A and B are shown apart, each in its own frame.
Chain A
Amino acid sequence: MTGLRVEGLTKSYGGVRAVDDATVTFQHGRINALIGPNGSGKTTFFNCVTGMVKPDAGTVTYHGRDITGRPAHKIAHAGIGRSFQLCRVFPRLTAVENLLAAVRPGSVLRALAPARRKSDVDRAMALLTRVGIEHLAEVEARDLSYGQQKLLELAGVLMAEPDTILLDEPAGGVNPALVERIGELVRSLNAEGRTFLIVEHNMDVVMSLSDHVVVFDRGRPIASGPPDAVRADPLVLAAYLGG
């Protein structure tokens, strides 16, 4: 089966079950949204799926392959990319270098080839152009504005050529015009066949962007379905939307 399937995923920190026996399937080709109150386990769920932390129990399969607990870089190679909450870039690398860092060398010998190979730089510049910051290619990431860093992070994720992209609060802390731009980017990338999994608190973004919504509460999904149906679900209203 295609897509991302998570079964019985559990992860505890101390006595807190951040993710508690979560079972959920994300079909390939969709824009999925993951919503839920703060502390409901969305980010821990992301971290388990992408190999940043090892789950205590449960399995993660991607396109039918078991990727549970595999090293993060292997999961990236399998085609799952991610952004981080509050945005993470390599501060003292330039924008274009931020992208070049995601190039896979392939072999030991090719790892010693110049990082600024023309074909790689061209691909990086094309992605920077796509997110609209190509004029900042040689500026260190720490000198970019927060919004520009968000765009840079997205371009960096794309450089690794994932077919599923996990975004942790893409609209957090950015101005409405940029939220709009990021939304358009997600839509066009999805039209090209990329699957998205988006954690987001901005309900307008969730409702307008996603095909499928999964609601988390206390570490597990409590509801899922099309945005309109989920919005009307009484369980969701009680847990999250505040009724």
Chain B
Amino acid sequence: MKAVGLVVLAAFLVAFPSLASDPFVLSVGVVIASYAVLATGWNFVGGFTGYISLGHAAYSGLGGYATGLLILRAGLNPWVALVVGALVVAVLAVPVGIAALRVRGASFVIVSIAVVLVLLLVFQSWGSVTGGSDGLRVPRPFDADVLRPEQHQRFFHLHAVLLGVMLLCWWVIDRSRFGMGLKAIREDEDKARSLGVPTVRYKLAAFVVSAFFTALGGGLYALWFGFLDPIFQFSILVGSNMVLMSLLGGVRSLFGPLVGAVVVGYATEFSKAQYGDTQLHLVAMGVLLAVVVLFLPDGIIPALRGLVARLRPGQASIREVTQEELVRR
């Protein structure tokens, strides 16, 4: 069942570009794939530890700028720049994580937002290096004879591969001892400490891994889109989107952020295409967030799983209990 689902998903990801009716649909596909990468990156810290970072745009934005600047200022090959850039961001995430993870709950949310706002100001003001408010043009990684639709197709597949690697990592952590420790932190941090879980180290490790993947996502997006503006790169909205998508799909499910990204990404792009430059998609997102929190607190995937389980034989509300089971109670 699970294997079949994975094969279908992989087949769809491979085939989507040839199924897409026109370059616009294809470009929407890339946008949604990028959302999925960012949300899944966020979920390494959000889903496992329960620390809700509203400021993860800091790491996607830094990843984008690091990639662009390494190409422009250091003359690196774009793909090398992408990986080196993400590693730089991971290193930067260590002191940020040490400071931010000292506080929990709402305080952590505020700190995470503060980081993005600081970065926004820095990248806007430090024009000589970052291009400032005028933005930064990132050179295309492919030759000029690779046309737009072909570009979209390649980037769609690059995003899909990155997403695949991230999902694999998430899966490995999810079933590992490290992952069990992280989930213990999410459920009750003090209790976890008392049982011997090195909470500070574990949280920091998850945070750095999350920043690394989110930066890769940001860098890949920068290479595709070709232009970075601080106001969009270091935006609370981008970070909130990652949170909304993950919550919608289910933060404790491997594919939760992906499902959320498809739903939110499709809805956003649809309303942008239909209603143009109105901010209606923001209203729709707000409503969606409220609905999720009120009616699907665990997300779509656990809700669906619960529904399927209810329909299965032997899971009905009237249960047959064997005598042995009764005695054991």
Give me the interface of A with B, judged by CB distance under 8 Å: 50-52, 71-73, 76-77, 81-82, 84, 88-93, 97, 100-105, 110-116, 135, 156-157, 159-160
Verify B194–A50 contact, CB threshold 8 A.
Answer: yes
Verify B188–A111 contact, CB threshold 8 A.
Answer: no
Verify B197–A73 contact, CB threshold 8 A.
Answer: yes
In whole Å, how far is B279's beta carbon from the nearest beta carbon of chain A? 36
Verify A157–B176 contact, CB threshold 8 A.
Answer: no
CA distance A156 to B200 in the complex (A): 21
In whole Å, how far is B130's beta carbon from the nearest beta carbon of chain A? 35
The 4 closest A-B pairs by CB, nearest first: A76-B196, A90-B187, A72-B193, A101-B184
Query: B195 — which chain A residues lie within 8 A by C-beta?
Result: 73, 76, 81, 101-102, 156-157, 159-160
Residue B73 CB within 8 A of the other chain: no
Query: B310 — which chain A residues lie within 8 A by C-beta?
Result: none
Verify B196–A104 contact, CB threshold 8 A.
Answer: yes
In whole Å, how far is A238's beta carbon from the nearest beta carbon of chain B? 34
List 11 contacting pairs A-B, 8 Å CB cutoff, sorted by A. Answer: A92-B252, A102-B195, A102-B196, A105-B178, A110-B177, A111-B178, A115-B177, A115-B180, A156-B195, A159-B195, A160-B195
Query: B184 — which chain A residues lie within 8 A by C-beta?
Result: 90, 93, 101
Verify A52–B194 contact, CB threshold 8 A.
Answer: yes
User: Given A88-B188, A112-B172, are A103 and B194 neighbors across the interface (CB < 8 Å)?
Assistant: no
Verify A111–B177 contact, CB threshold 8 A.
Answer: yes
Contact with A along B168-192 (1 / 0, CB 8 A): 0000110111111101100110111
Verify B176–A112 contact, CB threshold 8 A.
Answer: yes
Residue B141 CB within 8 A of the other chain: no
Contact with A along B290-323 (1 / 0, CB 8 A): 0000000000000000000000000000000000
Residue B2 CB within 8 A of the other chain: no
CB-contact partner of B187 in A51, A93, A116, A157, under 8 A? A93
Query: A88 — which chain B residues lie within 8 A by C-beta?
Result: 188, 190-191
Give me the interface of B with A, judged by CB distance under 8 Å: 172-173, 175-181, 183-184, 187-188, 190-200, 252, 325, 328-329
Verify A92–B187 contact, CB threshold 8 A.
Answer: yes
Query: A84 — which chain B residues lie within 8 A by C-beta?
Result: 191, 194
Q: Which of B192, B195, B329 has the most CB of A within 10 A?
A: B195
Verify A112–B187 contact, CB threshold 8 A.
Answer: no
Verify A115–B176 contact, CB threshold 8 A.
Answer: yes
Query: A77 — which chain B residues lie within 8 A by C-beta?
Result: 196
In whole Å, how far is A49's beta carbon from the nearest beta carbon of chain B? 11
In whole Å, how far is A201's beta carbon from the nearest beta carbon of chain B? 22
Query: A116 — which chain B residues lie within 8 A by C-beta?
Result: 175
Q: Which of A72, A112, A114, A116 has the most CB of B within 10 A?
A: A72
Query: B180 — which chain A residues lie within 8 A by C-beta?
Result: 93, 97, 100-101, 103, 115
User: Given A113-B177, A114-B176, are A82 and B194 neighbors across the interface (CB < 8 Å)?
Assistant: yes
Query: A160 — which chain B residues lie within 8 A by C-beta?
Result: 195-196
Q: 14 extra interchain contacts, Cβ-Cβ under 8 A, other than A51-B193, A52-B193, A93-B183?
A: A71-B200, A73-B195, A73-B197, A81-B195, A88-B188, A89-B188, A90-B183, A100-B177, A101-B183, A101-B195, A102-B196, A104-B196, A111-B177, A159-B195
